[in-house]
């Protein structure tokens, strides 16, 4: 059985299968084109995955499932994303044409159709948002500095109660356990 698992793994990683899978994947933008309306259509996605499973069952593995296909595509896209990032980073560094990273991934060109989907969304840095909030608060006529607010809070609070340390409760030894231990000790 182990030989068949290795054989199936080899088939899943074969160039012929991956080329066919990525060609089929390209045919279903509902699976990869995030900005498309069909991307949020679960029924279309389900049908597309069924087609990819059918292709896999027909070519290499009659026991293929949707989960297996999702994992395979996810792995291919993660590896592609890493290579794409290396290319982009080498272009950013101001390197010359000869110094730009050339991807070594053989299926890199086959997944280029997803490259515009790999852009992270623009977000506001927490630091910038916090600075803007603090600036707006300081401009407010009712602004009180943090230290002054803390001092006022301490003045208004009631006196603190004295705290007593909690004592650890001891485990009660039952008579049954103590007599059993005494008998065991006598025997020894």
Q: Give me the domain span that covers residue 102.
A: 2-116
- Reported as type and span, the H/E element at residue 93 is none
Q: Whose CA is closest to 88, among 76, 99, 100, 98? A: 100
Give a yes or no: residue 29 inside a domain: yes
Give a yes or no: residue 83 inside a domain: yes
In this prediction, residue 9 carries a pLDDT of 84
Give a yes or no: residue 111 inside a domain: yes
Residue 186 neighbours by CB distance under 10 Å: 7
Give a yes or no: residue 110 inside a domain: yes
Residue range 99-148, pLDDT digits in tens: 788 889 999 999 999 888 766 555 555 556 556 656 655 555 555 555 56
Instruction: Find out whether 44 and 30 touch, Cβ atoms under 8 Å.
Output: yes
Q: What is the mean pLDDT of each run of 10 residues along the chain (188 residues)?
A: 73 93 95 92 96 95 93 95 90 73 90 79 58 59 56 56 70 66 81
Number of structural domains found in the chain: 1
């Amino acid at each position: 059985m182990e030989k068949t698992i290795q054989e199936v793994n080899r088939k899943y990683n074969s160039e012929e299968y991956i080329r066919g899978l990525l060609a089929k994947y390209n045919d279903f933008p509902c699976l990869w084109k995030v900005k498309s309306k069909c991307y949020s259509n679960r029924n279309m996605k389900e049908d597309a995955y069924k087609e990819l499973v059918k292709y896999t069952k027909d070519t290499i593995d009659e026991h293929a499932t949707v989960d297996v296909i999702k994992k395979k595509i996810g792995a291919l896209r993660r590896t592609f994303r890493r290579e794409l990032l290396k290319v982009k980073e080498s272009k950013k560094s101001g390197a010359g044409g000869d110094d730009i990273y050339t991807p070594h991934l053989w299926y890199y060109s086959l997944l280029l159709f997803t490259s515009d989907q790999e852009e992270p969304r623009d977000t506001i840095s927490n630091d910038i948002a916090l600075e803007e909030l603090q600036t707006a608060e300081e401009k407010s006529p009712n602004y009180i500095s943090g230290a002054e607010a803390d001092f006022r809070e301490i003045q208004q609070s009631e006196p603190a109660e004295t705290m007593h340390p909690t004592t650890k409760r001891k485990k009660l030894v039952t008579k049954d356990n103590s007599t059993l231990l005494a008998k065991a000790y006598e025997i020894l």
